[in-house]
Structure 1
């Protein structure tokens, strides 16, 4: 444990993002009721920091080779690539047939999924989740103390 206690997020564990169907605004489920999900690591996990370091080196090399010192940089493309790198598992469901989509969760498949035309609605869900530290912070398991009752029957006794 760090001298800062439990302030740090647990970036070594995955967070399961249940996929919200864009048309119904409800969790997308298969025919048996199992929720569709994508598991991601935190943006500042070891893997996330390594991704950032690698991309920074590539960016610096490209900048050094360009005339103005600034290469073309597509932030959405970078975000999609990072999200794919931090995607560690999934259970995908076809929203029309409600059948499982049987595609292995690999970095290449995740990149294809997130960058395909019309898939921004799906990409944005794990992207927001992996950038939200609250998803990776362990909550307290303390039991709350009962608060005094304020109803009139208690006050009169």
Structure 2
């Protein structure tokens, strides 16, 4: 346990299930969800990426738009995935690498990056908290002092 016990991140990757804006959650033919595993943007992976980027003097990198820079960072904190073709339900055999993740996040006119970014940017997704017990003294499972 660290000095700031209870305030620390779990350090674990978060599984983000992909949702197609038209058909809903993407699943394979067996019903398994398509997902991306990633860490918080300010996790050790994210901070190591930021440190390396500060020393990157490549003019091509400096010319990247904020969108592409953000997708590069998102690719750096992406550690795994199970991708399923939303049209066929077939699993895609694409290794999860930084390069492939960057290509995925920068597909034209898609929001896959936004689904991942919203989760990776929200640190509450990486905190470990015990679930409060449900009270059995009211029909809705809340205690009488919680209200409705």
TM-score (norm 2): 0.82
Alignment pair present for 1:13 and 2:12: yes
Residue matched to 1:76: 67
SS in 2 for 1:91: strand
Quote the Cα distance in structure 2 between the aligned partners of 1:86 and 1:99: 25
Alignment pair present for 1:125 and 2:115: yes
Q: How does 1:1-157 map to 2 (within 5 A)?
A: 1-10=1-10, 12-24=11-23, 26-58=24-56, 61=57, 72=63, 74-119=65-110, 121-141=111-131, 143-144=133-134, 146-147=136-137
Post-superposition shift, 1:8?
2.2
Residue matched to 2:144: none
TM-score (norm 1): 0.78
* Greater helix fraction, Structure 1 or Structure 2: 1
Post-superposition shift, 1:72?
4.2
Post-superposition shift, 1:13?
0.9
Post-superposition shift, 1:146?
4.5
Residue matched to 2:143: none
Quote the Cα distance in structure 2 between the aligned partners of 1:100 and 1:134: 30
Quote the Cα distance in structure 2 between the aligned partners of 1:41 and 1:87: 7
Quote the Cα distance in structure 2 between the aligned partners of 1:107 and 1:131: 18
Question: What do residues 51-92 of structure 1 show as CA deviations (whole Å, max 9, x unaligned)?
Answer: 11121222xx47xx9xxxxx6452111110001111111011
SS in 2 for 1:17: strand
- Who wins on radius of gyration, i.e. which is larger? 1
Note closer, same or farther for the CA distance 1:118–1:73 as it changes in structure 2 (3 Å cut).
closer
Question: What do residues 93-151 of structure 1 show as CA deviations (whole Å, max 9, x unaligned)?
Answer: 111111111111111111111122233x11111111111111101121453555468xx
The alignment yields a C-alpha RMSD, in angstroms, of 2.1
